[in-house]
């Protein structure tokens, strides 16, 4: 247990209007980026460190800026960016045909009420899982170190690294946005395909020429990248050719491979992901239970002693206020559930279903908040198997609905599926916000921040995110659509919707999920053997994603994981390697932000002009396609190399700053 110090009560600015407004602006950028990236690849990226770098680079020009104010900025931006994980579930309501668009106030209510409830659930867990815990919180510690280094000196090398970091983020954003713009003109191809057939056997692969996906690969790391590559090999080296032989189709190799993957292979991935999620959560169940139970006992002893005697760094929002806000959150949730069911085929069951939904969210919400908080402390919020909890949550909600509505007509099946998704959408907000909040509160503890001020910032960040997510979703849905061959894949929402429909309405491909489950069990065994005998891992969830997602989505992330690892090994032999690694992370974050923001802007043009290719150059036709593919591939390789060289050179020019 870490010793508590009592810093001065009057330490300078912390929760300020300018900090909140700056966090709001950063929120707009990173939430848009995370929504777009999540719908494209099923992953989101941590926004704490990029937000902290931007904050320090801008606020350093103000004389009275403090480390605590910068911490508030990253807290606001981080909470809002994390809330975008609702896209793992909410688009499912459009994909199953329940919604044609995202009703603003309903979507806002799901995000805001669920997110604020996640903040409230994390408040009593702070002492239990942060202050009085030895959990490592790798991402929270990293963010705290960035804040300490960045504000250690308002001039000199620390300030110069902040400035270099901001420019790394900007140059990465500009480069990826420019690349995406050229792709939109059709001068560069958006993907590089190589498929072939030998009689009925078909295989091959696609590389999405997306710098955002490459940046995401850099951030997820080599271990996850290798696991996703193994998933790709299973899908396209085994699954696609075998099923194309078993189920021959007419058409060119690319068309057949895509159809076989969508109709058969991806369900193997569902089985792998399901087993991997259950195993991961199962292995954490005992330490989560024991850790939370013992720490809550210690926390109650401290509360009995009274808050007034605690140092400012240990003062949370008053527990009575937390309870009141939590109860208040359930009022809009109940109203949302009631409105969702009223006037439909389930209206005769509206009272028991609303009560069941509230109880499920109340109980399961606290359980997932505690589990996610512990997992964030153990392995980091980016690596926590939140998608696994979403799978278990939607299955639990679906089984509950089958129990309560067992006498409902067959025609009510789609309504039950939609209601299960609606309840799960609220629950996923509770889970992801708790997952991120305790990481942020760990950062605050390490920089001696005031917990209650940071908790207020978390609420504000959640509201900002809830305000902007629905219009972003509407815009992207109107421009691209979700699922299908040409829409945004929305892989997590597709998976969750499939499971809900399978439990409630029945499903004719459970045997494929069963085969995938057996494969997942084998991968779990391999991973456990590797963990015990070597320093290598094969994360089963990442293998499952590699099988489930199309190659055009995952291959670029795999390339990015290898590119990031090569970059880190290269700069480790150069001066100021820690700074170079940090700048590399910011380059990768910029690659995600730039392309994602351009994707949102392009969506606006598509909707406004009612033209699916508003930037397309008319004379660039099919005859130019081979050249477009080669040009796109060339610049896809060249741009990251130039950006990596830029970050390594600027890091070497800085005096070595310990991280």
Mean pLDDT value of segment 2-16: 54
- Domain assignment present for 193: no
Q: Identify the pLDDT of residue 615.
A: 83
Question: Are residues 549 and 258 in contact, defined by beta-carbon separation less than 8 angstroms?
Answer: no
> Would you say residue 176 lies in a domain?
no
Give the whole-number percent of the chain exceeding pLDDT 90.
11
User: So what's the pLDDT on residue 657?
Assistant: 46
Predicted confidence band of residue 602 (pLDDT cuts 50, 70, 90): confident
567 occurs within a structural domain? no
Question: What per-residue string of b and e applies to 475-512 under the rule 16 or more CB within 10 Å gives b?
Answer: bbbbbbebbeeeebbbbbbbbbbbbbbbbbeeeeeeeb
Cβ atoms of 207 and 559 within 8 Å: the answer is: yes
Residue 159 predicted with pLDDT over 60? yes
Alpha helices in 447-490 (DSSP H): 451-479
Q: How confident is the model at residue 559 (pLDDT cuts 50, 70, 90)?
A: very high
Alpha-carbon distance 327 to 332, whole Å?
10
User: Is residue 435 in some structural domain?
Assistant: yes
HSE (side-chain half, CA atoms, 13 Å) at 481: 9
Q: Are 53 and 435 in contact (CB under 8 A)?
A: no
Q: What average pLDDT does this structure show over 199-203? A: 83
- Pairwise pLDDT comparison (116 vs 284), residue with the higher score: 116
- What are the tens digits of pLDDT across the range 302-325? 555 555 556 676 777 777 888 889
* Separation CA 438–CA 458 (nearest Å): 10
**Interhelix angle 266-304/104-126, nearest 10 degrees:** 50
In angstroms, the CA 396 to CA 22 distance is 40
Task: Give me the pLDDT at residue 13, please.
Answer: 74
Compute the distance between CA of residue 448 and CA of residue 398 in angstroms, rounded to an integer. Answer: 44
Burial group, residue 211, by CB count within 10 angstroms (0-12, 13-18, 19+): buried
Within 172-264, strands assigned E span 191-198, 201-208
Give the helix/strand (H/E) hosting 598: helix 577-609
pLDDT digit string (tens) for 348-407? 778 888 888 888 888 887 777 776 766 666 555 555 556 666 777 777 778 777 776 666
Q: Is residue 631 part of a domain?
A: no
Q: How many domains are there within the chain? A: 1
DSSP letter at 368 equals: H
Name residue 344's beta-bridge partners: none
Q: State residue 425's pLDDT score.
A: 86
Is this structure's pTM higher than 0.95?
no
% of the chain residues with pLDDT over 70: 82
Residue 287: its pLDDT value, please? 58
Q: Give the residue from 544, 406, 418, 323 showing the smallest Cα distance to 99.
A: 418
Domain hosting 355: range is 17-163+285-500
Specify if 362 maps to a domain. yes
| Assigned domain for 274 exists | no
pLDDT (mean) for 206-228: 87
Residue 292's pLDDT is 54
User: Which pair of tokens denotes residue 227?
Assistant: 């696991």
- Specify if 638 maps to a domain: no
Q: pLDDT digit string (tens) for 115-129?
A: 898 888 877 777 767
Average per-residue pLDDT in the chain?
79
Question: How sure is the predictor about 1, in pLDDT bands with cuts at 50, 70 and 90?
Answer: very low
Residue 157: Cβ within 10 Å count: 18
Q: How many CB atoms neighbour CB 252 within 10 A? A: 10
Please report, in angstroms and rounded to a whole number, the separation of the first and last CA atoms in the chain.
23
Q: How confident is the model at residue 521 (pLDDT cuts 50, 70, 90)?
A: very high
Across-strand partners of 193? 206
């Amino acid at each position: 247990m870490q010793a508590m110090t009592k810093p001065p009560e009057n330490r300078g600015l912390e929760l300020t209007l300018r900090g909140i407004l700056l966090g709001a602006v950063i929120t707009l950028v990173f939430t848009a980026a995370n929504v777009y990236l999540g719908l494209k690849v099923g992953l989101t990226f941590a926004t704490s460190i990029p937000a902290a770098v931007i904050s320090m680079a801008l606020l350093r020009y103000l004389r009275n800026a403090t480390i605590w104010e910068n911490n508030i900025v990253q807290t606001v931006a981080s909470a809002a960016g994390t809330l975008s994980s609702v896209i793992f579930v909410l688009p499912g309501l459009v994909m199953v045909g329940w919604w044609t668009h995202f009703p603003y106030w309903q979507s806002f209510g799901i995000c805001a009420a669920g997110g604020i409830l996640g903040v409230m659930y994390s408040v009593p867990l702070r002492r239990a899982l942060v202050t009085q815990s030895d959990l490592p919180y790798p991402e929270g510690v990293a963010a705290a170190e960035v804040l300490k280094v960045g504000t250690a000196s308002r001039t000199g090398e620390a300030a110069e690294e902040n400035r270099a970091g901001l420019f790394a983020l900007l140059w990465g954003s500009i480069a990826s946005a420019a690349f995406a713009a050229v792709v939109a003109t059709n001068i560069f191809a958006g993907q590089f395909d190589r498929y072939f057939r030998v009689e009925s056997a078909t295989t091959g692969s696609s590389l999405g020429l997306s710098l955002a996906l490459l940046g995401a690969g850099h951030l997820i790391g080599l271990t996850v990248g290798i696991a996703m590559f193994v998933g790709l090999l299973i899908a396209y080296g085994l699954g696609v050719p075998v099923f194309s032989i078993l189920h021959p189709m007419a058409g060119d190799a690319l068309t057949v491979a895509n159809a076989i993957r969508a109709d058969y292979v991806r369900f193997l991935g569902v089985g792998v992901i399901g087993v991997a999620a259950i195993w991961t959560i199962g292995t954490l169940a005992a330490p989560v239970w024991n850790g939370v139970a013992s720490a809550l006992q210690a926390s109650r002893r401290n509360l009995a002693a009274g808050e007034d005697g605690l140092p400012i760094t240990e003062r949370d929002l008053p527990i009575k206020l937390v309870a009141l806000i939590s109860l208040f959150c359930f009022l809009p949730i109940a109203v949302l559930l009631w409105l969702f069911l009223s006037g439909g085929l389930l209206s005769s069951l509206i009272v028991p279903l609303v009560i069941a939904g509230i109880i499920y969210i109340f109980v399961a919400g606290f359980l997932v908040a505690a589990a996610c908080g512990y997992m964030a402390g153990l392995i980091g919020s980016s690596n926590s198997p939140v998608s696994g909890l979403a799978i278990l949550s939607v299955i639990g909600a679906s089984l509950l609905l089958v129990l309560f509505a067992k006498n409902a007509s067959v025609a009510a099946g789609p309504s039950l599926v939609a209601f299960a998704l609606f309840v799960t959408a609220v629950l996923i907000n509770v889970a992801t916000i708790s997952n991120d909040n305790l990481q942020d509160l760990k950062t605050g503890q390490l920089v001696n921040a005031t917990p209650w001020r940071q908790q207020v910032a978390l609420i504000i960040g959640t509201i900002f995110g809830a305000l902007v997510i629905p219009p972003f979703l509407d815009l992207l849905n109107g421009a691209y659509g979700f699922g299908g061959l040409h829409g945004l894949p929305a892989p997590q929402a597709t998976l969750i919707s499939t499971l809900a429909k399978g439990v409630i309405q029945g499903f004719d491909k459970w045997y494929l999920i069963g085969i995938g489950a057996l494969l997942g069990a084998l991968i779990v065994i391999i991973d456990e053997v590797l963990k015990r005998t070597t320093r290598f891992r094969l994360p089963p969830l990442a293998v499952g994603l590699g099988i489930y997602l199309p190659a055009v989505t995952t291959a670029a992330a795999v390339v990015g994981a290898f590119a990031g690892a090569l970059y880190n090994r290269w700069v480790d032999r150069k001066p100021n390697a820690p700074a170079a690694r940090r700048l590399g992370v910011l380059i990768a974050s910029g690659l995600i932000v730039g392309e994602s923001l351009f994707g949102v802007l392009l969506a606006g043009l598509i909707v406004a002009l009612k033209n699916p290719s508003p930037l397309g150059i008319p004379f660039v036709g099919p005859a130019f396609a081979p050249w477009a593919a080669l040009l796109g591939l060339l610049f896809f390789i060249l741009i990251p190399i130039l950006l990596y060289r830029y970050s390594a050179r600027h890091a070497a020019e800085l005096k070595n700053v310990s991280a």
